[in-house]
C-alpha cells in the first residue's frame, strides 16, 4: 500500500463500495439486453475503470486486475454484438467478479491486505479471462507483439 493518510483510504473504501454497489445493481441488464445502448454500458465501464485506477494507485494490484477485467467486458460489450448463449456465463462471471471484489474490499478495510487466495481461486475458475495477460507476457519476452483475446 502506498503511503496516504487514513482519510484518503477511507475515501477510497467509500468510493469503491459505491462503484461496486452500482455494478452489482446494474451489471447484468445491459449485457443481457444490449438495448440500453452505449450510455449504460459506458457508465458500467466508467465505474469498473475507476475501481481499477484507484485500486492501482493504492497498490491493490489484485483488486485492480479484477476490476480491469470487468472494465474490459463492458468495453467489449459496447463494441460487439453478444449472442444470447453468452448471457448466462457472462452474467455469472460479472456477479462472481463483483462478489470477489466486495469481499476483497471488506478485507482491505479490515486489515489493509487483499484476499490473495480468493482472487487466485477466482482467476483459476475463470482462467480464460486471464489467458491474454500470460500469453502477452510470454510472447513479448520472445520479442514478438501480441493481440489480446
Per-residue pLDDT in tens (0 to 9) along the chain, 149 residues:
444 577 889 999 999 999 999 999 988 765 555 554 568 888 999 999 999 999 999 999 999 999 999 999 999 888 888 788 888 888 899 999 999 999 999 999 999 999 999 999 999 999 988 886 544 343 333 333 333 33
Dihedral (Cα; 42, 74, 21, 85), 10-degree rounding: 130
Q: Is 63:104 a contact under the CB 8 Å cutoff?
A: yes
Q: Which cell is 50 given?
A: 475507476
First to last CA, the chain: 31
Q: Which cell is 90 given?
A: 457472462
pTM of the model: 0.81
Amino acid at each position: 500500500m502506498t503511503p496516504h493518510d487514513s482519510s484518503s483510504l477511507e475515501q477510497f473504501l467509500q468510493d469503491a463500495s459505491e462503484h461496486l454497489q452500482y455494478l452489482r445493481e446494474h451489471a447484468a441488464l445491459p449485457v443481457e439486453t444490449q438495448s440500453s445502448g452505449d450510455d449504460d454500458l459506458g457508465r458500467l465501464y466508467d465505474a469498473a475503470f475507476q475501481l481499477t485506477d484507484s485500486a492501482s494507485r493504492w497498490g491493490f494490484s489484485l483488486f485492480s486486475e479484477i476490476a480491469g477485467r470487468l472494465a474490459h467486458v463492458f468495453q467489449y460489450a459496447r463494441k460487439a454484438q453478444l449472442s444470447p448463449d453468452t448471457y448466462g456465463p457472462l452474467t455469472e462471471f460479472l456477479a462472481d467478479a463483483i462478489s470477489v471484489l466486495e469481499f476483497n474490499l471488506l478485507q482491505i478495510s479490515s486489515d489493509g491486505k487483499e484476499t490473495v487466495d480468493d482472487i487466485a481461486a477466482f482467476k483459476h475458475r475463470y482462467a480464460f479471462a486471464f489467458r491474454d495477460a500470460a500469453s502477452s507476457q510470454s510472447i513479448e519476452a520472445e520479442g514478438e507483439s501480441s493481440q489480446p483475446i
